[in-house]
Amino acid sequence: SKKWVLMVTAQTPTNIAVIKYWGKRDENLILAINDSISVTLDPAHLCTTTTVAVSPDFDQDRMWLNGKEISLAGGRYQNCLREIRARASDVEDEKKGIKITKNDWQNLHVHVASYNNFPTAAGLASSAAGFACLVFSLAKLMNVQEDNGRLSAIARQGSGSACRSLFGGFVKWVMGKEEDGSDSIAVPLVDEKHWDELVIIIAVVSSRQKETSSTSGMRDTVETSSLIEHRAKEVVPKRIIKMEEAIQNRDFPTFAQLTCSDSNQFHAVCMDTTPPIFYMNDTSHRQKVLTGCQLFRIIGCVEKWNCSEGTPQVAYTFDAGPNAVLISRNRKAATLMLQRLLFHFPPNSDTDLNSYVIGDKSILK
Ligand code: PMV
């Protein structure tokens, strides 16, 4: 038979939650215990690029992450591949003389090469960009006729936060009610142009991997924390409504207050877990990362500045890793914030603070 390879390349940015997802009600399908809201970043700074290829010569599915082969045996990859294959349709490339039918896809194997332009698994939601990009590129390759909302429910099964990276701008992950997860999908709230004054600064640290994976961390929190139920049932639903309103109205003071409080509560439920999880202050015992102490100083610095200005200039949020994400109300505030950061935490060989990534337009496609 004639040899051929068909390829698709896609690029997907990561996202940062401003109302956090923490806790699953179904671990296999990855169904959350609360809604969450995130902002999708500028792909120029933090994104995954994935190429997927299919050929009759491939005898198994294989994947390379940043040039190194990884196992696809895990349930999450298998779930994504299975769900996409189940929705594949006919593909025809007359020029190359390729014709793949819906049924052929069940027996054809794919090769996947994925690159992150930022530290993997350092709490910068690399899995979010990674699974979103994998699902999107496979869907294009296999000519899946479904919208990004439906694709988000597949990406969710790779990594919960990944479902929110299928859209730009501000995005809500609706937890849903159904047992099969069919209504647990991402919904775009406003596009990237809606609030383009915002500038996001991320203090990116070394490629150190986080100590407690979000999967085991969430499991421990749901099993042992008494605060998590209060958070999921009483606090987050109200915050989601207020946050949507603040985003619609470009109300930065409310946005900043909710973002900072929600980050702090996420870390509070982590600390309320047995054994406690210290994403924010457990970062100092290895060289070359921002220390926990520095992260707390960043919070102090922002709180003090916001207070002295009379109205918030910058919001902070921290995920499950040692990076500080700062969202400034505008370019001027971002410049002043960056000056402060560089003054207090200059990039040097002690901290290996690789760079401060500044979202040029902050929110893009
Ligand atoms: O999608 P996961 O399993 O990597 O979990 C992400 C959890 C947080 O980043 C801490 C919060 C969020 O909503 O992204």
Supply the pLDDT for residue 294: 75
- β-sheet bridge partners, residue 116: 48
Minimum mean pLDDT range among 16-20, 71-75, 138-142? 71-75
> What's the alpha-carbon Rg for the chain, to the nearest Å?
21
CA distance 232 to 269: 11
Q: How far is CA 118 from CA 68, 161, 202, 274, in A?
A: 15, 17, 11, 31
Six token digits for residue 114? 């994925």
- Distance from Cα 213 to the centre of ligand 1, integer Å: 10
The percentage of residues in the chain with a pLDDT greater than 70, rounded to a whole number, is 86
Q: Is the peptide bond before 322 cis (omega within 30 degrees of 0)?
A: no
Pick the closest to residue 178 from 153, 199, 151, 212 (CA basis): 153
Minimum mean pLDDT range among 51-60, 92-101, 116-125? 116-125
CA distance 200 to 159: 23
Confidence class for position 320, pLDDT limits 50, 70, 90: confident
- pLDDT tens figures, 173-225: 999 999 999 999 999 999 999 999 999 988 765 445 556 789 999 999 999 99
Supply the pLDDT for residue 324: 82
- At 351, give phi and psi (nearest 5°): -100, -15
Give the CA diameter of the chain.
73
How big is the CA angle at 153 (ends 159 and 174), to the nearest 5 degrees?
Answer: 90
Looking at residues 46-74, what average pLDDT do you find?
A: 93
Is pLDDT of 1 > 80? no
Supply the pLDDT for residue 27: 96
Task: Return the half-sphere exposure (C-beta side, CA atoms, 13 A cut-off) of residue 327.
Answer: 28
* Prediction pTM value: 0.93
Pick the closest to residue 112 from 98, 130, 89 (CA basis): 130
Confidence class for position 356, pLDDT limits 50, 70, 90: low
User: Could you give the 3-state DSSP secondary structure of residue 97?
Assistant: coil
Of 172 and 293, the structure prediction assigns the larger pLDDT to 172
Q: How far is CA 303 from CA 52, 56, 307, in A?
A: 45, 58, 6
Q: Which atom of ligand 1 is nearest to the CA of 123?
A: 9
Using an 8 Å Cβ cutoff, are 4 and 148 in contact? no
User: Could you give the 3-state DSSP secondary structure of residue 8?
Assistant: strand
Supply the pLDDT for residue 347: 64
Supply the pLDDT for residue 338: 86
Supply the pLDDT for residue 2: 63
Supply the pLDDT for residue 354: 44
Is pLDDT of 358 > 70? no
b or e along 185-217 (b: 16 or more beta carbons within 10 Å of the residue's beta carbon)?
A: bbbbbbbbeebebbbbbbbbbbbbebbbebeeb
Supply the pLDDT for residue 287: 43
- Distance from Cα 274 to the centre of ligand 1, integer Å: 19
Using an 8 Å Cβ cutoff, are 171 and 325 in contact? no
- Distance from Cα 4 to the centre of ligand 1, integer Å: 39
Using an 8 Å Cβ cutoff, are 305 and 297 in contact? no
Using an 8 Å Cβ cutoff, are 121 and 210 in contact? yes
Looking at residues 347-355, what average pLDDT do you find?
A: 51
Name all residues whose Cβ lies below 6 A of ligand 1: 17, 20-22, 36, 125, 127-128, 159-161, 214, 319-320
Is pLDDT of 277 > 50? yes
Residue 328 parent element (H or E): strand 324-328
Q: Out of 210, 319, 325, give the residue to mutate to test ligand 1, the one with the largest number of ligand atoms within 8 Å of its CB.
A: 319
Looking at the chain, the number of H-run helices and the number of E-run strands are 9, 17
- Distance from Cα 22 to the centre of ligand 1, integer Å: 7
Residue 38 parent element (H or E): strand 36-40
Is pLDDT of 25 > 60? yes
Is pLDDT of 355 > 80? no
Q: Out of 131, 214, 277, give the residue to mutate to test ligand 1, the one with the largest number of ligand atoms within 8 Å of its CB.
A: 214
Please tell me the total number of residues recorded for the chain in this structure. 365
Supply the pLDDT for residue 350: 52
CA distance 110 to 81: 9
Q: How far is CA 57 from CA 62, 103, 140, in A?
A: 13, 17, 20
Six token digits for residue 264? 């702090």
Question: Would the CA dihedral through 78, 42, 123, 232 be positive or negative?
Answer: negative
